[in-house]
Amino acid sequence: MADGEFEAIVLNSQVPGTFSTFSGVTWADDGTIVYAAAAAFPSQRVALYQVEASGGEPELLAEADSLPGSLASYAQPHMLPGSETLLFHARRSGDPG
Protein backbone atom coordinates (compact mmCIF):
# COMPACT_ATOMS: atom_id res chain seq x y z
CA MET A 1 0.00 0.00 0.00
CA ALA A 2 1.23 3.49 -0.83
CA ASP A 3 1.27 6.37 1.65
CA GLY A 4 -2.18 7.90 2.06
CA GLU A 5 -4.03 4.75 1.00
CA PHE A 6 -6.08 2.47 3.21
CA GLU A 7 -7.42 -1.04 2.96
CA ALA A 8 -11.15 -1.63 3.38
CA ILE A 9 -12.34 -4.74 5.18
CA VAL A 10 -15.86 -5.86 4.35
CA LEU A 11 -18.10 -6.13 7.43
CA ASN A 12 -21.68 -7.41 7.56
CA SER A 13 -22.23 -7.39 3.80
CA GLN A 14 -24.07 -9.70 1.44
CA VAL A 15 -22.11 -8.33 -1.53
CA PRO A 16 -18.31 -8.68 -1.48
CA GLY A 17 -16.57 -5.33 -1.58
CA THR A 18 -19.49 -3.23 -0.30
CA PHE A 19 -20.93 -2.22 3.06
CA SER A 20 -24.66 -2.35 3.70
CA THR A 21 -24.14 0.52 6.14
CA PHE A 22 -20.82 1.41 7.75
CA SER A 23 -20.54 4.50 9.92
CA GLY A 24 -17.09 4.80 11.47
CA VAL A 25 -14.28 2.99 13.25
CA THR A 26 -11.83 3.74 16.06
CA TRP A 27 -8.73 1.92 17.34
CA ALA A 28 -8.17 1.84 21.10
CA ASP A 29 -4.84 1.91 22.95
CA ASP A 30 -5.52 -1.60 24.29
CA GLY A 31 -5.74 -3.20 20.81
CA THR A 32 -9.52 -3.10 20.49
CA ILE A 33 -11.30 -1.88 17.36
CA VAL A 34 -14.78 -0.38 17.77
CA TYR A 35 -16.93 0.16 14.69
CA ALA A 36 -20.47 1.16 13.76
CA ALA A 37 -22.18 -0.99 11.11
CA ALA A 38 -25.59 -2.33 10.12
CA ALA A 39 -26.38 -5.58 11.90
CA ALA A 40 -27.73 -7.25 8.76
CA PHE A 41 -28.30 -6.37 5.13
CA PRO A 42 -30.39 -4.38 4.21
CA SER A 43 -30.92 -2.98 7.72
CA GLN A 44 -30.31 0.73 8.16
CA ARG A 45 -30.13 0.42 11.97
CA VAL A 46 -26.46 0.81 12.79
CA ALA A 47 -25.10 -0.84 15.96
CA LEU A 48 -21.73 -0.59 17.76
CA TYR A 49 -19.37 -3.59 17.78
CA GLN A 50 -15.89 -4.29 19.14
CA VAL A 51 -13.26 -6.79 18.02
CA GLU A 52 -9.64 -7.39 18.99
CA ALA A 53 -7.18 -5.91 16.47
CA SER A 54 -5.57 -9.35 16.25
CA GLY A 55 -8.88 -10.81 15.02
CA GLY A 56 -11.72 -12.81 16.47
CA GLU A 57 -15.49 -12.69 16.64
CA PRO A 58 -17.04 -9.18 16.87
CA GLU A 59 -18.92 -8.43 20.11
CA LEU A 60 -22.08 -6.32 20.10
CA LEU A 61 -21.64 -3.24 22.33
CA ALA A 62 -24.87 -1.33 21.64
CA GLU A 63 -27.80 -2.58 19.61
CA ALA A 64 -29.95 -0.28 17.52
CA ASP A 65 -33.71 -0.51 18.06
CA SER A 66 -36.71 0.61 16.00
CA LEU A 67 -39.04 1.26 18.96
CA PRO A 68 -40.26 4.88 19.15
CA GLY A 69 -37.87 7.01 21.20
CA SER A 70 -35.16 4.33 21.38
CA LEU A 71 -31.63 4.67 20.00
CA ALA A 72 -32.06 3.67 16.36
CA SER A 73 -28.60 4.31 14.97
CA TYR A 74 -25.00 4.85 16.12
CA ALA A 75 -22.19 6.58 14.23
CA GLN A 76 -18.67 7.99 14.45
CA PRO A 77 -17.25 6.07 17.42
CA HIS A 78 -14.12 7.62 18.94
CA MET A 79 -12.12 5.98 21.74
CA LEU A 80 -10.36 8.42 24.06
CA PRO A 81 -6.77 7.80 25.18
CA GLY A 82 -6.63 5.17 27.91
CA SER A 83 -9.31 3.00 26.22
CA GLU A 84 -11.87 3.58 28.99
CA THR A 85 -14.20 6.13 27.34
CA LEU A 86 -15.98 5.76 24.01
CA LEU A 87 -17.68 8.76 22.40
CA PHE A 88 -20.25 8.25 19.63
CA HIS A 89 -23.17 9.90 17.91
CA ALA A 90 -26.63 8.32 18.42
CA ARG A 91 -29.94 9.04 16.73
CA ARG A 92 -33.31 8.29 18.34
CA SER A 93 -36.03 6.48 16.42
CA GLY A 94 -38.39 9.03 14.91
CA ASP A 95 -35.78 11.83 14.85
CA PRO A 96 -35.28 13.46 11.45
CA GLY A 97 -32.09 12.39 9.59
For the stretch 42-75, pLDDT in tens is 556 788 888 888 878 888 898 877 777 777 788 8
Can you give the pLDDT at residue 45? Answer: 74
E-strand spans in 28-92?
32-38, 46-52, 59-62, 71-79, 86-92
The domains of the chain are located at 22-92
Task: Answer for the pair 90, 47: CB distance below 8 angstroms, yes or no.
Answer: no
Residues in Cβ contact with 93 at an 8 Å cutoff, skipping those fewer than 6 apart: 65, 66, 67, 68, 69, 70, 71, 72
pLDDT for 44 equals: 63
Tell me the per-residue pLDDT of 16-51, one tens digit each, with 9 for 90 and over: 444 456 788 899 999 898 988 875 555 567 888 888
Note the pLDDT of residue 4: 42
17, amino acid identity: G
CA distance 62 to 66: 13
